[in-house]
Chain A
Amino acid sequence: MATLQTRATARIMMSPAVILLFLWMIVPLVMTLYFSFLRYNLLMPGTEEYIGFLNYQYFLTDPAFFTALANTLILVGGTLLITVIGGILLALVLDQPFFGQGIVRLLVIAPFFVMPTVSALVWKNMLMHPVNGLFAWIARLFGFQPIDWFAQMPLFSIILIVAWQWLPFATLILLTALQSLDGEQKEAAEMDGAGAISRFIYLVLPHLSRAITVVILIQTIFLLSVFAEILVTTNGGPGIQTTNITYLIYMQALLQFDVGGASAGGIVAVVLANIVAFFLIRLIGKNLER
């Protein structure tokens, strides 16, 4: 039982972290909110004035917003699809005993440690280059016309790169969950004559459901703000075909210097992320009680 004195000590020990984090969260957010109601462009100093919801109106009715929103959803959805399904399959393979399992595990998780700018540039140039890239060579080897990845399917190319970075994360978490599955249960199911597929559907998948949810939620948080991969490969283009919400706001802020508009966009992004965060927080909170 905590005494009064230890409780006071505990409060003092916590306060630096809590206060700093609070300031870090609230000050910029309030500023963003404030700017979002102003006409405020860095190129036109001295013309700041209150314009109500006009920035929001412009941002939300701009066709670019809908394209960016769609791109964001496709990017998140596509990457999730590849990484979750791929992750489950990979985890199932890695869970089997085989020679050199430990080394293969290291190889599989490696992409997660590669910084985004490196993986994007390596993929764009050395693998996906339409003339000298490795994929082009493989395509020609089999008599196909090489794909000009970033011209023909720019968004899908980015999805591929991002998926490669996040596949290890999904695999590792699902593998960890898989390994906590009770061996005896599997055995019992086998003895009762359940085949591999029905064992997977009725035993393994339900056991993994929680880990899958965690993977989806955490990845969504990160994938909503994919930025570096777009910056170094396509700059959001061609046109705005690979511009996501994060990149759209970045362009508005640091390329057009439209502080007001970018702030309104920032608030929209915060709201979108909060919808996801709401579910994630509840899930982890539930876990804390156990």
Chain B
Amino acid sequence: MARATTTRSKVIFTVIGWTIGFLIFFPILWTFLTSFKSEGAAVATPPQFLFFDWTLENYREVQSRSDYFKHFTNSVVISVGSTLIGLALAIPAAWAMAFSPTKRTKDILMWMLSTKMMPAVGVLVPLYLIFRDWGLLDTRLGLVAVLTMINLPIIVWMLYTYFKEIPGEILEAARMDGASLMKEIVYVLTPMAVPGIASTMLLNIILAWNEAFWTLNLTAANAAPLTAFIASYSSPEGLFWAKLSAASTMAIAPILIMGWFSQKQLVRGLTFGAVK
């Protein structure tokens, strides 16, 4: 039963809640606003919040000076590519674990999780050398491979928790009605599994998009995704805040929107089902 809440407490919490929300979101909002300023206005004191000459110049500059869309494409290829390959590997695995579990299923799941605990820096040296010797340094192929392996345990786990919620009785009922295995998969299981697969996909694109250890260490000019591209702003020449903001806004906007859509699945994906 919902408890009656007084209007007064509701108003108070509205004020508190919005203040906190605004403060936490502020750096992002500030980046967004700064991206429309001239470089002079970006560093002005006192800061100009809304009343400045809005311009799209920075977005044009970022693209023309540094080939922004190449890096954007790299980000898309690497995050989507690694997620799709990961799903192709993980769907059958998670399916088998959820629908014909054996004594060892749990051990395999825990072991997969444990590979996630290995700090990246522990295998930095050999991976760097392998990449160097195989000509994979600064290639999208190399990064797709690494990110696939990094996120594979999370994908398997998330899918497993979703698949497990598909009740076995439905399968039995379908079988009783004479459905073949093929029909069972196409008409019964797939429609129930699609939402889980979709949210797994979303979360993993987000994680791969923002991954910033391997992308920084294994790429240079060619395959650098946005994480590494933005890092090049750490040694700037001249005025650059407005351009940094424009590049940042474009880098985070698509993923922020995806993140907002997947927020419900986020908790489950990131805690391996430990909190739902």
Between A and B, how many residue pairs show CB distances below 8 Å? 318
Find out whether the CB atom of A277 lies under 8 angstroms from the CB atom of B117. Answer: yes
* A94 CB, nearest partner CB in chain B, Å: 7
Find out whether the CB atom of A117 lies under 8 angstroms from the CB atom of B122. Answer: no
Q: Interface readout for B108-136 with A: 1 if CB under 8 Å, 0 if not? A: 11101111111111111111111000000
Q: Interface readout for A149-182 with B: 1 if CB under 8 Å, 0 if not? A: 0000000000000001001110011001100100
Interface size for A (C-beta < 8 A) is 108
A187 contacts which of B1, B109, B124 (Cβ < 8 Å)? B1
Taking CB atoms, residues of chain B closer than 8 Å to A127 are 27, 30
Cα–Cα distance between A169 and B210 once the two chains are bound (Å): 15
* A38 CB, nearest partner CB in chain B, Å: 11
Taking CB atoms, residues of chain B closer than 8 Å to A187 are 1, 3
User: Which residues of chain A from 44 to 67 have any CB-CB distance to chain B below 8 Å in the complex?
Assistant: none
Interface size for B (C-beta < 8 A) is 101
Find out whether the CB atom of A114 lies under 8 angstroms from the CB atom of B28. Answer: yes
Find out whether the CB atom of A176 lies under 8 angstroms from the CB atom of B276. Answer: yes
Cα–Cα distance between A145 and B121 once the two chains are bound (Å): 39
Taking CB atoms, residues of chain A closer than 8 Å to B22 are 107
Cα–Cα distance between A101 and B17 once the two chains are bound (Å): 8
Cα–Cα distance between A109 and B272 once the two chains are bound (Å): 19
Within 8 Å of chain B (Cβ to Cβ): is A201?
no
Taking CB atoms, residues of chain A closer than 8 Å to B259 are 109-110, 112-113
Cα–Cα distance between A111 and B101 once the two chains are bound (Å): 38
Known: A104-B20, A118-B248, A284-B113. A225 touches B213 (CB 8 A): yes
Taking CB atoms, residues of chain A closer than 8 Å to B256 are 110, 113-114
Taking CB atoms, residues of chain B closer than 8 Å to A117 are 212, 216, 227-228, 230-231, 234
User: Which residues of chain B from 189 to 232 have any CB-CB distance to chain A below 8 Å in the complex?
Assistant: 206, 209-210, 212-213, 216-217, 226-228, 230-231
Cα–Cα distance between A107 and B21 once the two chains are bound (Å): 5
B125 contacts which of A14, A32, A99, A228 (Cβ < 8 Å)? A32
Within 8 Å of chain B (Cβ to Cβ): is A82?
no
Q: Interface readout for B84-107 with A: 1 if CB under 8 Å, 0 if not? A: 000001101101110111100010
B contacts with A: majority SS: helix
Cα–Cα distance between A284 and B106 once the two chains are bound (Å): 11
Within 8 Å of chain A (Cβ to Cβ): is B271?
yes
Find out whether the CB atom of A176 lies under 8 angstroms from the CB atom of B28. Answer: no
B24 contacts which of A21, A168, A277 (Cβ < 8 Å)? A168
User: Which residues of chain B from 26 to 70 have any CB-CB distance to chain A below 8 Å in the complex?
Assistant: 27-28, 30-31, 34, 42-47
Within 8 Å of chain A (Cβ to Cβ): is B267?
yes
Within 8 Å of chain B (Cβ to Cβ): is A35?
yes
A-B contact pairs, 13 of them (CB 8 A): A6-B100, A10-B97, A21-B153, A104-B18, A109-B259, A110-B260, A113-B255, A116-B227, A117-B230, A132-B241, A184-B1, A228-B227, A285-B106
Chain B contact residues, CB within 8 Å of chain A? 1-3, 5, 9-11, 13-14, 16-18, 20-22, 24-25, 27-28, 30-31, 34, 42-47, 89-90, 92-93, 95-97, 99-102, 106, 108-110, 112-130, 149, 152-153, 156, 206, 209-210, 212-213, 216-217, 226-228, 230-231, 233-234, 241, 244-245, 248, 251-252, 255-256, 258-260, 263, 266-267, 270-276
Known A119-B27, A231-B216, A232-B234; further 6 A-B contacts with Cβ < 8 A: A29-B118, A210-B275, A221-B116, A254-B217, A270-B118, A283-B274
